[in-house]
Chains A and B, each alone.
Chain A
Amino acid sequence: MFSKKTEELGKPEVDENQPLLRVRDLSVVFRTREGSAQAVNKVDLDLARGQTLAILGESGSGKSVSAKAIMGILDMPPAEITSGTIEFRGKDLLTMPEKERRLYRGQRIAMVFQDALSALNPVYTVGEQIGELFQVHRGLSRKDSKKKAIEMMDRVRIPGAAARVGDYPHQFSGGMRQRIMIAMAIALDPDIIIADEPTTALDVTVQAQIMELLAEMRRETGSGLILITHDLGVVAETADVISVMYAGRTVEHGPAVDVFANPAHPYTVGLMESMPRLTGAGDRLYAIPGLPPSLLNIPAGCPFAPRCPRAEDICRQDPPPPAVQLDGIRYAACHFAEEVVSHGIH
């Protein structure tokens, strides 16, 4: 675990004038025995410094696969990136050699995983796991890296960090484990933090603590945050920009305030209306009929058409334009995006 085989240490140099993250035309296919599953289909994403981008979608929408592709931790095979570029400060991560890519992973782009208990190694202490980052990437000694680990645990406000640095992951509660994950993510001061469902396994009270901590870390370090979630509430509280994914495609993209106030894609409208709210109780929830399509067999035309109350013949035949531009930086992949914005879907 503590091999120091890394020949190069330290952060790769980057051109600060280039955009932080620019993903274009990203497609990921999983080759399975049943056929090819198009998990991500021509996705574009942009992230600026200090910005929070939320990728919203249900299971199978491609949100986690996109994140893993950006992080460079897709299992290939079965996954295969069939098209696209992922540019970090102008350098395409997909074409660079793995040796160079390693330097970006963790130091420039870091990830917080959903399930901290399975993401952490159960047979090493949390101190060893946080410290490993400093040993591998910074060449620190065991002793110094332990000091660094305590420092990081303090930063994410784990009480009694010095006393708990030798504890194992199972000795921490779910919320504390997620703090350790965050400590590991921010340890090398990355420019981008990707948080994949960071609070799904947690209680609401702890969720509030963790989201607050993530926001604080983003403010402190000025890094960009990609938040992957299906929780509309969490998105509303933290995101600057939202990308809504469905069946591997981005179906809507825009500033959080606008998307929530006036969704432009019928799927987004459906999501908003199907969510029970804490205030104001309707008698009946709107339920999007049917199920998301199988990725092995995405319908021709618009993938949402079979479930869409607004669908017309054209939706079942022709794929919608990938990005109908609405006001400003809002896009929706819908034949009737403008009508949906102004009149809803009913």
Chain B
Amino acid sequence: MASTETPDPWGAAQAAPAGLETGSQPSPDSDPILEVNGLVKHFPLRQGIVIKRQVGAVQAVDGVNLQVYPGETIGVVGESGCGKSTLARLLIGLETPTGGSIQLTGREMVGSSGAKLKAMRRDVQMIFQDPYTSLNPRMTVGDIIAEPLEIHPDVVPKNKRTERVRELMSLVGLAPEHIDRYAHQFSGGQRQRIGIARGLALNPKLLICDEPVSALDVSVQAQVINLLQDLQNRLGISLIFIAHDLSVVRHISHRVAVMYLGRIVELGEKEQVYNNPQHPYTKALLSAVPNPDPSQRGKGNQIVLEGDPPSPANPPSGCRFRTRCWKAQSVCAEVDPALEVTSSGAQAACHFPGETPSRPGVAA
């Protein structure tokens, strides 16, 4: 759909910040774009009709440390309720953290307000999961994409905005002549492209994608994944890619963080995490992914985890995974394992990382 003579929207006229056009290779030697330390978000649970007492807290995110480097994609995986979406909302500033710090290119976001916070927010943008509900049905595509430019009026002068919106539309593969259409006139994949164009409007350094392809059909999903990768190559932005589909995360990410009950339990290079998982939860998660090759049926050692994750309002003592873990020993109930570098090179929060005798009763 994108015409080949599309003018480069990041051309000389509207230059991106210096150093962002250098290509796709993540550069871990440079300073991180985003540095998260000890990030905590507890949602209070209240009881009582008039006088509401706090009776507990849902520990949605509980002590997350993460660095994101320029040009890299970090995949965040985990089951529903593990806190991955709350993490995204914290990073974008939609939730106020209970504790910890979020540093964006060295500037502290937590506790900032007013113009300072607004300037920072420009650098982090988000793409939402559901392209059907995240676009205002009463606004035209042009208005939707231009809205960030109105909120941050100094990024593009007013008389250049329509031009900029058209550039963004062709950048994401939408026909610029559809600028006056409404969201409902587009298919799911095209709507997600609108969301991506909106996310890119302010030249962000970091794009947070919360399940951006899970609402799309398989054949359209590949188009959007390819688009995100192309955009990263072209613009050098960093991505935080949140998804429950482990194959998609493997495809697009450079590094992967596995979350369980509000914590990162394993973090490492994609090959480390996928080829040699250290945390038992990562192993179980990977083994549960169906193998798309019927001739291999029944040959994998599938670890079927019992039950559901415990409630984040009342997580188990010590290691939070121990209630579903086949390796759990008494130490796991007492001591909370820290995220430490393991033999694979990845970090894992487990007292017994890596290979151990396989679980008794592994389903073939």
Taking A205-B284, A256-B294, A284-B229 as contacts, is the C-beta distance between A274 and B221 under 8 angstroms?
yes
Contacting B247 at CB < 8 Å: which of A261, A275, A289?
A275
CB-CB contacts of B219-236 with A at 8 A, as 1s and 0s?
111110110010000000
Contacting B222 at CB < 8 Å: which of A203, A209, A235, A274?
A274
- Would you give the shortest CB distance from A111 to chain B, in whole angstroms? 22
Cβ contact within 8 Å between B217 and A230? yes
Contacting A291 at CB < 8 Å: which of B187, B229, B246, B285?
B187
B274 in the interface (beta carbon within 8 A)? yes
- Alpha-carbon separation in the docked complex, A207 to B229 (Å): 28
- Alpha-carbon separation in the docked complex, A114 to B294 (Å): 23
Cβ contact within 8 Å between B308 and A176? yes
Cβ contact within 8 Å between A239 and B189? no
In the A-B complex, list the 7 residue pairs whose CB atoms are closest, starting with the nearest. A233-B290, A276-B251, A274-B222, A287-B222, A58-B217, A288-B219, A208-B288
- Alpha-carbon separation in the docked complex, A258 to B15 (Å): 52
Enumerate A256-306 residues with CB–CB distance to B below 8 Å: 256-257, 260-261, 270-272, 274-278, 281-282, 284-289, 291-292
- Would you give the shortest CB distance from A24 to chain B, in whole angstroms? 27
Cβ contact within 8 Å between B289 and A204? yes
Task: Using CB atoms, name the residue of chain B closest to A259.
Answer: B294
Task: Using CB atoms, name the residue of chain B closest to A176.
Answer: B308
CB-CB contacts of B237-256 with A at 8 A, as 1s and 0s?
00000001111101110000
Name the B residues within 8 Å of A239 (CB-CB): 294
A100 in the interface (beta carbon within 8 A)? no
B35 in the interface (beta carbon within 8 A)? no
A6 in the interface (beta carbon within 8 A)? no
Cβ contact within 8 Å between A276 and B217? no
- Alpha-carbon separation in the docked complex, A256 to B298 (Å): 14
Cβ contact within 8 Å between A278 and B218? no
Cβ contact within 8 Å between A232 and B308? no
Taking A203-B244, A212-B304 as contacts, is the C-beta distance between A285 and B219 under 8 angstroms?
no
* Chain B interface residues (CB < 8 Å from chain A): 79-80, 187, 189-190, 217-223, 225-226, 229, 244-248, 250-252, 270, 274, 284-286, 288-295, 297, 302, 304-305, 307-308, 363
- Would you give the shortest CB distance from A187 to chain B, in whole angstroms? 23
A324 in the interface (beta carbon within 8 A)? no
- Alpha-carbon separation in the docked complex, A257 to B292 (Å): 10
A59 in the interface (beta carbon within 8 A)? yes
A-B contact count (CB 8 A): 125
Name the B residues within 8 Å of A232 (CB-CB): 218, 292
Taking A204-B285, A205-B284, A205-B305 as contacts, is the C-beta distance between A281 and B250 under 8 angstroms?
yes
Task: Using CB atoms, name the residue of chain A closest to B217.
Answer: A58
Name the A residues within 8 Å of B363 (CB-CB): 212
Taking A276-B248, A285-B251 as contacts, is the C-beta distance between A175 and B187 under 8 angstroms?
no
Cβ contact within 8 Å between A231 and B290? yes
- Alpha-carbon separation in the docked complex, A282 to B363 (Å): 30
Cβ contact within 8 Å between A173 and B218? no
Task: Using CB atoms, name the residue of chain A closest to B311.
Answer: A173
Name the B residues within 8 Å of A275 (CB-CB): 218, 222, 247, 292
Further 8 A-B residue pairs, CB within 8 A, beyond A203-B79, A231-B290, A288-B222: A205-B305, A209-B304, A212-B304, A277-B250, A285-B226, A288-B223, A291-B187, A292-B219
Name the B residues within 8 Å of A167 (CB-CB): none
Cβ contact within 8 Å between A286 and B291? no
Taking A176-B308, A278-B247 as contacts, is the C-beta distance between A205 and B285 under 8 angstroms?
yes
Taking A275-B247, A276-B251 as contacts, is the C-beta distance between A230 and B304 under 8 angstroms?
no
- Alpha-carbon separation in the docked complex, A58 to B289 (Å): 20
Q: Which of A206, A207, A232 has the most CB of B within 10 A?
A: A206
- Would you give the shortest CB distance from B282 to chain A, in whole angstroms? 11
- Alpha-carbon separation in the docked complex, A175 to B324 (Å): 15
Cβ contact within 8 Å between B187 and A237? no
Taking A208-B302, A275-B247 as contacts, is the C-beta distance between A270 and B219 under 8 angstroms?
yes
Taking A257-B294, A257-B295 as contacts, is the C-beta distance between A285 and B225 under 8 angstroms?
yes
Taking A204-B289, A236-B294 as contacts, is the C-beta distance between A58 and B247 under 8 angstroms?
no
Task: Using CB atoms, name the residue of chain B closest to A285.
Answer: B222
- Would you give the shortest CB distance from B337 to chain A, in whole angstroms? 20
